[in-house]
Chains A and B, each alone.
Chain A
Amino acid sequence: MRIESKQAFEEAVKAATALNEKRTREIMVCCGTGCLANGSQAVADAFAQRIGDLGLDVKLSLHAKTTGCHGFCERGPLVVLKPEGILYTKVKPRDVDEILEKTVGNGEIIPRLLYRNPENRQPIEKYEEIPFYKHQVRVSMRNIGRIDPASLDDALAHGAYAGMARALFELTPEQVIAEVRESGLRGRGGAGFSTARKWDATRKAVGERKFVLCNGDEGDPGAFKDRSIMEGDPHAVIEGMVIGAYAIGAKEGYVYVRDEYPLAVHHMNLAIEKAKERGLLGKNILGTGFDFDLKVSRGGGAFVCGESSALMRSIEGKIGEPRAKYIHASDRGLFDLPTALNNVETWSVVGQILNQGGAWFASMGTKKSKGTKSFSLVGKVKNTGLIELPMGTTLRHIIFDIGGGILKNRPFKAVQTGGPSGGCLPADKLDLPVDYEVLSENGSMMGSGGMIVMDDRTCMVDVARYFLNFLIDESCGKCIPCREGLKQMLHIFDDLVEGRGKPGDIERIERLCKGMQLGSLCELGKSAPNPVLSTLQYFRDEYEAHINDKVCPAGMCRELTTYKINHDPCTGCHMCTRVCPTDAISGKPKEKHAIDQQLCISCGSCFDVCPEEQCIVFLPKKDIGGAHATAGN
């Protein structure tokens, strides 16, 4: 069954496509991390069994992240019925018979399983019509939710390895690099370095062995597009890497996947095994004589291993400490041999670029940032999940048209991009077109595509402190500016959020930031001040309120905030009592409730669930007075 010629490849694709077309009906059960958590495996099993019992000619495909996860994870398990494209949410095994009988058998819709537009509660039948999908242009995520990641034939029927076949059969390595250069593709891991230049440098470098690596150590909190690609379409990554290896002259490669993504590791391993069986990977690929071996390397749970030199040390079995950047990986990377490292998303579009041409990819995007970019849109936004759009789309379009606006229609405050190396952009930056340059010019960065939306209940000082806390944990400790700078800065931030801020703290923070930017060894330390500096730039008044007035304007810093129930609007709905973790709220149903300040830990759970306007309110703790109101201890 090995494919060993151009003709055999074309025939294999034809056979796979024919098999797909013969099946007019497809039932796709999302089996991504989110839906699995909600029990989608049981639903998939129930479909498989009933279809077998009934002898129906239905193709059952188990998809990793069928719908690209847009808050639908909460609504999982998700089932999509093709050809109509009907989306059913929260499907239980007991619904399976009804779906097979009514929808598959008679074309009847089952209204109770449909998705409802959160705006007007109207049911939406087809998933393409859901606003979240309507505006998207999917290249890297083109097959996620469409193919069964465990089936190579399904991938072939959906165009996988076509770009690789073109590269290997028709182009020289130089021509492959030229095609990628024309596409204008830049690294999707965040820094935005030209992919063609990186490949070219590695090709020209001298070394007895060369490597291509895939960075699947998606450590930025709030980003999960790489997980989704590896889980949902691992063949796109393999295809890209074979093309890259051919262009560079590498015979070995590793996919470095973070330890927190067990399903991604599993699907990548499975796909590699299947590709090897069919001669799409390994020795003598497609009979062209080109050899390329690919392995998965599991990370150990260290954020710094997303940094290229640390990642390579980790594959070597060492601790993930970065080294100085003047040594280029293209000259001396893994095992000190020439290495090209690209992000999962970068690899996943390479096949499409070779298949559809560099010019096609370059026709999308902005002047310097070409093509499409995937983001995970999360946080306080109505539709959360993975999106892919041409570069240059405005933040407003992303957050309000695709994201559907802010949860509970609260005011928008900021959007955080670029993870711990990025920054927070305020409301007056919403009309900025998103590309590498624009984000950097405004104090943030592209990063690996996390886009975390924040509302007025997010304290920007707390957000900056959150990232410092994150980075302290993750700093490898090799260089002093990063290790000590973060620590000292966190001390100051602890003071701010606990009511001990003093004049001069902002200036002290700024000085530390400058030291870290100048003195740190790797990008982790150099970019660590970004979340701090961007919040200072756009939300300085919040810092001043914490320092001068001992007030948290968002009401999130516990030591500065207290909650109170206003008697008039309280209907005694009892919702707050149910969520209070310390039983600090007293009151019978339908009677006025009250908070015991001695028991209250100011967590804000009650505030967030209260359905009435102005019923539960937060106040600066100092305004309440009394023994309990003293800040800190």
Chain B
Amino acid sequence: MQPCVDMTLLDDILAQYPHEEQSLIQVLQDVQRAYNYLPCEVLEKVASELKVPLAKVFSVSTFYKAFSLNPQGKVIIKVCTGTACHIRGATQIIDEVERRLGIKPGETTEDLGFTLHTVNCVGACAMAPVVIVGDKYVGAAKASDMHKYLTVAKGGDNEN
């Protein structure tokens, strides 16, 4: 189903850390960044290299929000749901993205174009409500402008 994943990326990551349990979260962070998710094969190798039971690797992978076991969309949309964003209308923005993309928070569109996440405060409260489209922070975001950001993000794929 999934094409074979490139294990050399993992080797580069593992080379940077001591092979012990303490490195687990840091390694998984880098894996998530390099592969855009935590592929099963990679986790198996992480477990054997760091000498941590695979069950424990899964437990950590599912406990922390930064990790996902499913491939993520090309563009990740994070809607901040911190208190300041909430009272300035984050809910409207989530509704609007849900309506436009047909996915709920945590889900990815079928074409792997977008993933929608909610995050508990990115610490840019003065710009509330905040949406992060890919790497771009959008401050004072409006529900009615979301379609514009989505269109730009989709068109911007080629540049990446």
Q: What residues of chain B have their CB less than 8 Å away from a CB belonging to chain A? A: 20-26, 28-29, 52, 56, 59-60, 63-67, 81-89, 91-92, 95-96, 99, 119-128, 136-140, 142-144
Contact = CB atoms under 8 A, between A and B. Distances in A.
A317 B25 contact: yes
Interface in A375-413: 376, 378-380, 384-385
Contacts of A380: 87-88
Nearest to B24: A317
A224 B123 contact: yes
Interface residues of A, number: 65
Interface in A426-485: 450, 452, 454, 458, 463, 466-467, 470, 473-474, 476
Interface string A300-328: 11110000000000111111100000000
B120 A578 contact: no
Contacts of B121: 219-224, 260
A378 B142 contact: no
Given A73-B127, A224-B125, A317-B21, A302 B63 contact: yes
Given A73-B139, A603-B95, A605-B92, A222 B83 contact: yes
Interface of A: 33-34, 36-38, 69-74, 218-224, 227-228, 259-261, 297-303, 314-320, 376, 378-380, 384-385, 416, 419, 450, 452, 454, 458, 463, 466-467, 470, 473-474, 476, 578-581, 601, 603-605, 608
Given A72-B126, A300-B28, A467-B83, 19 more contacts: A36-B137, A222-B82, A223-B121, A298-B25, A300-B29, A300-B65, A301-B66, A303-B120, A316-B21, A316-B22, A317-B20, A317-B24, A376-B125, A450-B125, A452-B83, A470-B120, A581-B95, A581-B143, A605-B92
Given A319-B63, A473-B120, A579-B144, A463 B87 contact: yes
Given A37-B138, A71-B126, A376-B125, A580 B144 contact: yes
Nearest to B118: A473
B140 A74 contact: yes
Contacts of A379: 83-84, 87-88, 128
B126 A458 contact: no
Given A222-B82, A580-B144, A320 B63 contact: yes
A535 to B, nearest CB: 13
A302 B65 contact: yes
B120 A227 contact: no
10 contacts: A33-B137, A74-B126, A224-B123, A260-B121, A300-B66, A301-B65, A317-B24, A458-B87, A474-B120, A579-B142
A524 B64 CA distance: 17
Contacts of B140: 74
Nearest to A476: B63
B123 A260 contact: yes
A601 B83 CA distance: 22
A528 B58 CA distance: 28
A606 B140 CA distance: 16
A384 B28 CA distance: 36
A317 B82 contact: no
B70 to A, nearest CB: 16
Contacts of B143: 579, 581, 603, 605
Contacts of B25: 297-300, 314, 317
